[in-house]
Structure formats: structure tokens, C-alpha cells
Amino acid sequence: MIYMGDVERYLREESSRRTLLATLIDPANVSIENLGEIASNLEEGGADLILVGGSIGAGADLERKISAIKSKTSLPVILFPGNVDGVAAGADAILFMSLLNSGNPYWIIQAQALAAPKVKKLGIEPIPTAYLIFEPGHTTAAGWIGWVNPIPRRKPEIAIAYALAAEMLGMRWIYLEAGSGAEEPVPSAVIKSIAKLTNLGIIVGGGLRTNEQILERAEAGANIVVIGTKIEESKDIKSEVKAISTALKGTSKDL
């Protein structure tokens, strides 16, 4: 029996109609005093969900930070764990990810085995997700820590093979990124191929700096696009998110 929780069902249903906008908050980069206001601005701007996590130091005081976020928003708050310490009470769900192109089995299955009992005990909804990092992702924090053998940008067949394997292993989502703040985002052609050849929900992040890049990935077939650095660097979060959200509403999918 395949279990799909309320959060994942919402993501599936909504992203079948339009590309959703997720905003990634790295709790290591934001003070707890500012989190509530940021979350409120994200919701008012039109974001659809909030991801919380990071590669280094994200687990410090994480439960209090999640509580601060949830106190000011009704949006789904989903953990984006960089390690076992990225699992904390209070979140609505967790991207239960396996970094498939890591050269270290810890990031493929061992961290997940260590985290699974805690996820179960806390009652956090797991969303089974394959995780792939593209060039130049090995130079970013996630790629360096995760011992990543990055997917070559000019070899889309490698990414497609991983995506097919992920689906055959029972994963239902795939997170594609080139690393936080990457110089170039994931190629649109790869997204289009994975959307055509699998039924995986596709999440795309890392290096999406312009609205044009975001819309291009949405039109290629991304179910969810993720912005993080773009928001961290913004002086007007609400307006920044609203501009992207409004643009994405024009990318309705044929049902």
C-alpha cells in the first residue's frame, strides 16, 4: 500500500495545474527574531510553501526556528535536511532525500537510516525524494559535504538514467539543483526529458537568479521551483516573491 500524506497530496494536486513557488530558508543564515516577519512576507507575496534547511549549521535551535516560522504563516513548512540534525519537530513534512550521485554511501542511505526512526517518532510526513546535483555543484556547500560526483550539464542522459532508477525504486519526487548560488541553473532540456519519461514530481532549485530562468524551468515541466539566495539578497522580500508568483500563475498546465 502506497502512503501519501496530506502535504504531498496537496503538492501533487496543485502542481498538476501550475508550477508552485517554494522559498528556501536556511536557518543558519537568519536570526530567530526575523523569521516570523520573513515567513509572513513570503505568504503575502504569494509563495506556496516554505522549505527549511541547509548544509552547514542548520540544525542549531531548529525546533524554535520552525515554531517562529509557523507562528506567522499557514503555508506548508517542509524540512530540506542537510544531515540528520536537519530533522526537527514542528514541520509539516520532510523531503526524505537520497543524494543519488554521491560517492559516499552515507548520503545515499546511511543518513536516511539514522533519521528514519526520529521522523517516525515525531510524526513528520516523509516525501520520498531523489536528489541530484549538477555541475558546478561540487564547488557548493551541499556538493562538497555530500561527496558529489556532479551530473555533467552536457550529458542529460546521465540525469535521465538516475531519474528512471529513482522512479523504479519507488521514489515519487526528484530534486534537481546545481547548488545554492550556482552560476548556472539546471538545464531546461533535462527537466523536459525527465517530465516526459517519468511520473516523478520535479523540484528545481539552485542558481535561479532571474524571473526568466524561473519561468523557463516552469515551462520545461518543473512542478516546483525553489528560490533561496535570491530571497536572502532581496531588500523587499514580499515584492520579489509577488513578481515571481504572478509570473508563474501564467504558466498553467493543460489538464
Establish if 90 belongs to a structural domain: yes
More confident position, 252 or 187: 187
What is the domain count for the chain?
Answer: 1
Contact 28, 54 (CB under 8 A): yes
d(CA 70, CA 191): 31
| Cβ neighbours of 9 (radius 10 Å) | 11
Establish if 164 belongs to a structural domain: yes
Establish if 100 belongs to a structural domain: yes
pLDDT-derived band of residue 181, with 50, 70 and 90 as boundaries? low
DSSP 110-174: IHHHHHHHHHHHHTPEEEEEEEEEBTTGGGSHHHHHTTB-PBPTT-HHHHHHHHHHHHHTT--EE
Kindly report the CATH number assigned to the domain that includes residue 131. 3.20.20.390
Q: What is the pLDDT of residues 65-77, one digit of tens each?
A: 999 999 999 999 9
Q: What is the pLDDT of residues 115-152, one digit of tens each?
A: 999 999 999 999 999 999 999 766 677 888 899 999 99
Establish if 253 belongs to a structural domain: no
Establish if 114 belongs to a structural domain: yes
Establish if 130 belongs to a structural domain: yes
Establish if 254 belongs to a structural domain: no
Structure confidence at residue 249 (pLDDT): 85
The pTM (predicted TM-score) of the whole model is 0.95
Range of the domain at 33: 6-248
Q: What is the pLDDT of residues 140-150, one digit of tens each?
A: 778 888 999 99
DSSP 56-117: SSTTTTHHHHHHHHHTT--S-EEE--SSGGG--TT-SEEEEEEETTBSSHIIIIIHHHHHHH
**Residue-level length of the chain:** 255
Structure confidence at residue 113 (pLDDT): 98
**Percentage of the chain exceeding pLDDT 90:** 80
Establish if 255 belongs to a structural domain: no
Structure confidence at residue 255 (pLDDT): 40
Structure confidence at residue 235 (pLDDT): 82
Phi, psi (degrees; rounded to nearest 5) at 114: -70, -35
Q: What is the pLDDT of residues 90-101, one digit of tens each?
A: 999 999 999 999
CB within 8 Å of 128: residues ≥ 6 apart: 96, 170, 171, 172, 173
Q: What is the pLDDT of residues 209-235, one digit of tens each?
A: 899 999 999 999 999 999 987 777 788
